[in-house]
Amino acid sequence: MKKVVMCLVVASIFLFSVGSVKADASGFVGFGDSNTAGTYFSQYGYDLNTRWVIQTGAMNAGISGNDTNQAMKRFNTDVLAKKPTSVSIMFGQNDGLLLDNGKPQVDKVTFEQNITLMVTQLKSKNIKVLLMTSLPVQQTLYYSRYPEKKHLYTDKGGIRLWLNSYNEIIRKVAKTQKVQLVDHYANTWIKAGGGAGSDAQLSASGLIAPDGFHWTPKGHNMMTYSINYYLR
């Protein structure tokens, strides 16, 4: 299986020349939440045509706010019924969000079960799977938007580390099921300059939207390059 991070280090100078590496995405379904759907683009005045689902030619099966419990209920109609040849799966951010009682919307055991079930069903039909991690949250921006939520993540090292623990499950399932991992989280830090990683780096990178929770068009360009690379 191709290595996701190192190839992007070598290819980073080409990250935004996405048209030159566009894959034949016929039969490709993008399954996920708002970072797949791109429904927030209008809110920030972003060009809808710069969404990664448009740039890759994917059938857009993203729904804003979805977690994997909700996704499982529409998996047959929104994914399998389309008879795809390849499918990307990107969930976790909404699953890991903590409710006021301190519990996640979807616990980690259930999250892993849901992701694994999606993958095994696709593999049984010989459909190529791209398991994708979610972005590193820009915490300062997120907490300024939702100050009442900050205390929920104090004992978890902050929302960024907590949600990355759901990315770790994605990485684990990709390895266990021997399907392709597209580690957008790791690639973001590469583009942001590496190191320990900080909110300042994320802001300076231009990859993260003003809410700290979504990608900018520049972030979608980065994702497009990675996705097209693994669809080829």
| Domain annotation covers residue 191 | yes
pLDDT at 195: 73
Q: What whole-number distance in Å separates Cα of residue 135 and Cα of residue 132?
A: 10
Q: Is 197 contained in some domain?
A: yes
**CA dist., res. 77 & res. 183, Å (int):** 27
Is the pLDDT at 78 greater than 90? The verdict is yes
Would you state the pLDDT for residue 232?
Answer: 82
Confidence band, pLDDT 50/70/90 cuts, at residue 83: very high
Query: Mapping DSSP to helix (H, G, I), strand (E, B) and coil, where does residue 16 land?
Result: coil
Helix (H) or strand (E) holding 128: strand 128-132
pLDDT digits (tens, 9 = 90+) for 154-178: 999 999 999 999 999 999 999 999 9
Residue 19 CA, distance from chain mean position: 21
pLDDT digits (tens, 9 = 90+) for 26-73: 699 999 999 999 999 999 999 999 999 999 999 999 999 999 999 999
CATH number at residue 123: 3.40.50.1110
Distances from the Cα of 49 to the Cα of 8, 39, 163, 206, angstroms: 23, 12, 28, 18
Q: Band the pLDDT of 9: cuts 50, 70, 90.
A: very low
| Structural domain boundaries enclosing 221 | 28-231
Residue 223 confidence (pLDDT): 97
Q: Is residue 84 one of the residues assigned to a domain?
A: yes
Within a domain: 185: yes
Average pLDDT over residues 96-115: 98
The pLDDT confidence band at residue 19, using thresholds 50, 70 and 90, is very low
pLDDT in tens, 181-211: 999 999 999 999 887 789 999 999 999 999 9
In this predicted structure, the answer to whether residue 16 has a pLDDT above a threshold of 50 is no
* Mean pLDDT, rounded, for 128-143: 98
Q: Average model confidence (pLDDT) for the chain?
A: 90
Residue owning tokens 């109609």: 77
Which is higher by pLDDT, 19 or 36?
36
181 to each of 46, 134, 149, 209, 222, how far by Cα in Å?
27, 12, 30, 24, 15
pTM beyond 0.85? yes
> 10 with 189: CB under 8 angstroms?
no
In this structure, is residue 34 part of a structural domain?
yes
Supply the pLDDT for residue 142: 98
Q: Which pLDDT value is given to residue 134?
A: 97
2 assigned to some structural domain? no
Residue 3 is assigned to a structural domain of this protein: no
Domain count along the chain: 1
Q: Is residue 6 part of a domain?
A: no
